[in-house]
């Protein structure tokens, strides 16, 4: 999200470092970003710290991003969407854009008569306290837009949210937060713990995350990135850009 906030043209989430290298090998200039085990990948231009994605580096650029959990979650949601026709709109939300994301979702849900599905990426397949906390903040923002009919999961998350400590304490007390602090990413946590300070809502536009309503948003549906599907959970694949 930091990339789009700072003027990046778009962010392409890919599953593996191999796919990212393949994008760089293609004609168009791209920046490679991402992490494995919270650390920058060899040969990559950027890591996973949002503080690296400053305007001077990312403005006007296409970023190819591979992270351990978020990318996979995007892929799975896209793959699970209805086939053919107009797929669901898929956006990215975090604490920093919670209110803007909620307003966007609410507007789309009302105008399309569709529900909202909140998907937590988790950490290596496990429940993540910071995800649930972020979901609770998003759901509170949605509830402020109008009447909600939450399912069991949403209700549970909202109950948990009502018990939450202040944002930074909540993030720091999670398992993953503890890991990040140990690795020296305290400044990232400060940045990520700021609630509703950003109006940027990343949305999928034909396989690329762009700022909703921004200059690179053509209004296309979500789409599935045109890379080899086999590579999502497996080995690096020699897949190229769209």
Min separation Cβ 211 and its own copies, Å: 31
Q: Of 160 and 189, which CB lies nearer to its own copies in the complex structure?
A: 160
Min separation Cβ 183 and its own copies, Å: 18
Binding site for its own copies (CB under 8 A): 123, 126-129, 132, 151-153, 155-156, 159-160, 163, 174-176
Q: Of 114 and 155, which CB lies nearer to its own copies in the complex structure?
A: 155
Min separation Cβ 156 and its own copies, Å: 6
The crossing angle, in degrees rounded to 10, of helices 175-182 and 129-145 is 120
Min separation Cβ 222 and its own copies, Å: 21
Sign of the torsion formed by the C-alpha atoms of 118, 121, 126 and 130:
negative
* Joined tokens for residue 144: 């402020």
Q: Where are the beta strands (DSSP E) in the chain?
A: 10-13, 30-36, 39-40, 62-66, 202-205, 208-211
Q: Smallest Cα–Cα separation from 97: which of 27, 204, 194?
A: 194
Min separation Cβ 188 and its own copies, Å: 19
Q: Of 86 and 179, which CB lies nearer to its own copies in the complex structure?
A: 179
Q: Of 113 and 152, which CB lies nearer to its own copies in the complex structure?
A: 152
Sign of the torsion formed by the C-alpha atoms of 82, 84, 89 and 92:
positive
Q: Of 66 and 128, which CB lies nearer to its own copies in the complex structure?
A: 128
Alpha carbon separation from 111 to 75, 84, 95, 104 (Å, rounded): 25, 21, 25, 11
Residue 200 near residue 97 (C-beta atoms within 8 A): yes
């Amino acid at each position: 999200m930091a990339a789009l906030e700072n003027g990046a043209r778009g962010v392409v989430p890919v599953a593996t470092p191999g796919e990212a290298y393949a994008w760089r090998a293609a004609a168009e200039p791209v920046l490679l970003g991402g992490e494995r085990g919270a650390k920058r990948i060899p040969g990559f231009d950027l890591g996973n710290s949002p503080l690296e994605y400053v305007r001077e580096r990312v403005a006007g650029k296409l970023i190819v991003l591979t992270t351990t959990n978020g990318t996979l979650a995007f892929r799975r949601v896209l793959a699970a969407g209805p086939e053919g026709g107009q797929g669901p709109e898929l956006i990215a939300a975090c604490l920093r854009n919670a209110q803007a994301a909620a307003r966007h979702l609410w507007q789309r849900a009302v105008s399309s008569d569709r529900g909202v599905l909140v998907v937590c990426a988790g950490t290596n397949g496990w429940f993540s306290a910071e995800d649930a906390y972020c979901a609770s903040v998003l759901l509170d923002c949605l509830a402020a837009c109008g009447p909600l009919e939450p399912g069991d999961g949403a209700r549970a998350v909202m109950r948990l949210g009502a018990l939450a400590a202040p944002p930074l304490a909540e993030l720091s007390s999670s398992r993953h937060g503890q890991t990040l602090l140990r690795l020296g990413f305290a400044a990232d946590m400060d940045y990520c713990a700021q609630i509703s300070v950003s109006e940027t809502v990343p949305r999928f536009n034909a396989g690329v995350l762009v700022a909703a309503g921004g200059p690179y948003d053509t209004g296309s549906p979500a789409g599935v990135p045109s890379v080899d599907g086999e590579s999502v959970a497996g080995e690096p694949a020699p897949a190229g850009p769209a």
